[in-house]
Structure 1
């Protein structure tokens, strides 16, 4: 079976042209990785003063995925920095936390890392009309004059193609107190000892960002890096790859002071240590919580 399978395609108006969202949801629910392909014209998206109409095809990896209300998928690029095609990087050091939903809604959060002083405080900002980019529709904007601006938007790409890498199997699930609901720690430990990759789905990871809005059930899927197994205690813990957290909603997006990023250390007893970053100040904070977690291993 191919590593990547296309399960959904949307056209420029974000209408389904092949596949189905249910297949995408089912794959992500089962631990599948997510990549999304799009296409755009150089003189419409990169350099609007250019006469170069060449089609550029892009495929992006979304290493953090969200499953909301067990029926809605979104992904966030957690490792991307701004690229200025075709020669290098953008003008300011930052991260580019692009976010894509299953229906083509998009968002961007950009914590600047260069230490420049902000020119204003957080709050709702006026959307940019982007007159030189008629395919770019900024829906709302936040914190524009801070070091952590974000916005929700739709760009009318030529197409949206959703690919899943469904070579993961769930081997353990437990409640926030560590009580096992399915699978076993032995299956996880055996796969770990055989060199398998591991990822987790943490239920309710962003509940503290919900604010006064109605709760949205959600799981956040994150890859793990260094893993450690106590062989007598039979407890596994791991250093997760960077995670981007945002207030749960459908479609998923960003808002003022409603997102952050950082690192987690989940354990198989439900404990999760967090080392999270305030995107406005880049100050770290530590917090420990307990969550229900599902554990997946690569096949």
Structure 2
């Protein structure tokens, strides 16, 4: 089977033209990686004043995936900085936490790193008409003038193509207290020892961001980096890649004071330590909670 398989395609109106969302959901539920391909015209999306009509094809890597209510998939680009095509980067140092849903709804959150003082307080912001970009439809905007603006939007790309890399195997699942419900930590540790990549699906990771904590069932999938296995007590822990947390919903998006980002250290007894950053102040805080987790290894 190829490393990447297209399981869903939407047209510019976000209507399905091949594949189906159920296949996408099933793949992500089983640990698959997610990439999304789109296409746009340079003078429609990059520089509206240009006469350059060249088609640009883009494929994005969504290293953080959400499975909401066991039926809805969204992905977040957790390591992207603003790119200003075709020559370099955007005008302000920041992250570009683009978020794409399975139905083509999009969002972005942008914590700035350049140290400018905010000129407004968090809250709902007016939307922009984007008259020079008729394919861009801003639906909601939040926190303009702060250090962490975000918005929901739809850009009418030529197409949306959803690809999954399904070469992952679930080797361990456990409850928040560490009680094993499937697989074994020994199998996980043996796979890590043979050089396998590892990712986790953490259930309820963003419950504290909900208005009613725990109301919306969700899992957050994130890749792990360094893994450490204590051979006598048979316990494994790992340093995760950066994670972006946001209040779970369908479609998924951002909102005022309802998202953050940072780093996690999950452990096979359900303990998850966090080093989370407040995007409005860039101040870090340490967290510790317990979660049900599923562990996957690359094949």
The TM-score with structure 2 as length reference comes to 0.99
Tell me the residue number matched to 1:122. 122
1:26-75 superposed Cα distances (whole Å, 9 cap, x missing partner): 00000000000000000000000011111000000000000000000000
How far 1:136 moved relative to its partner? 0.4
Tell me the residue number matched to 1:182. 182
Cα distance in 2 between the residues matched to 1:59 and 1:129: 27
Cα distance in 1 between the residues matched to 2:261 and 2:55: 33
Tell me the residue number matched to 2:99. 99
Cα distance in 1 between the residues matched to 2:243 and 2:174: 21
How far 1:214 moved relative to its partner? 7.9
- Cα 1:270–1:213 change in 2 (3 A) is closer
How far 1:126 moved relative to its partner? 0.4
Tell me the residue number matched to 1:296. 296
Cα distance in 2 between the residues matched to 1:155 and 1:133: 9
Tell me the residue number matched to 2:228. 228
1:68-95 superposed Cα distances (whole Å, 9 cap, x missing partner): 0000000000000000000000000000
Tell me the residue number matched to 1:209. 209
Cα distance in 1 between the residues matched to 2:214 and 2:66: 17
How far 1:267 moved relative to its partner? 0.1
Q: Which aligned segments of 4 or more residues in structure 1 are displaced greater than 6 angstroms? A: none
1:106-143 superposed Cα distances (whole Å, 9 cap, x missing partner): 00000000111011110000011101000000000000
Tell me the residue number matched to 1:284. 284
Contact 2:38 / 2:159 at 8 angstroms: preserved in 1?
yes
Tell me the residue number matched to 1:85. 85
Contact 2:172 / 2:183 at 8 angstroms: preserved in 1?
yes
Q: Secondary structure at the match of 1:229?
A: strand
Structure 2 gap segments, 5+ residues each:
none
- Cα 1:68–1:31 change in 2 (3 A) is same
For 1:33-72, list aligned pairs within 5 A. 33-72=33-72
Cα distance in 2 between the residues matched to 1:253 and 1:11: 21
Q: Secondary structure at the match of 1:172?
A: strand
Q: Secondary structure at the match of 2:37?
A: strand
Cα distance in 1 between the residues matched to 2:213 and 2:159: 33
How far 1:211 moved relative to its partner? 1.3
Cα distance in 2 between the residues matched to 1:142 and 1:29: 30
How far 1:212 moved relative to its partner? 4.1
Cα distance in 2 between the residues matched to 1:148 and 1:178: 36
1:224-264 superposed Cα distances (whole Å, 9 cap, x missing partner): 00000000000000000000000000000000000000000
How far 1:213 moved relative to its partner? 8.1
Tell me the residue number matched to 1:135. 135
Contact 2:204 / 2:214 at 8 angstroms: preserved in 1?
no
Tell me the residue number matched to 1:267. 267
Over the residues paired in the alignment, what is the CA RMSD in angstroms? 0.8
**Number of residue pairs matched by the alignment:** 299
The TM-score with structure 1 as length reference comes to 0.99
Structure 1 gap segments, 5+ residues each:
none
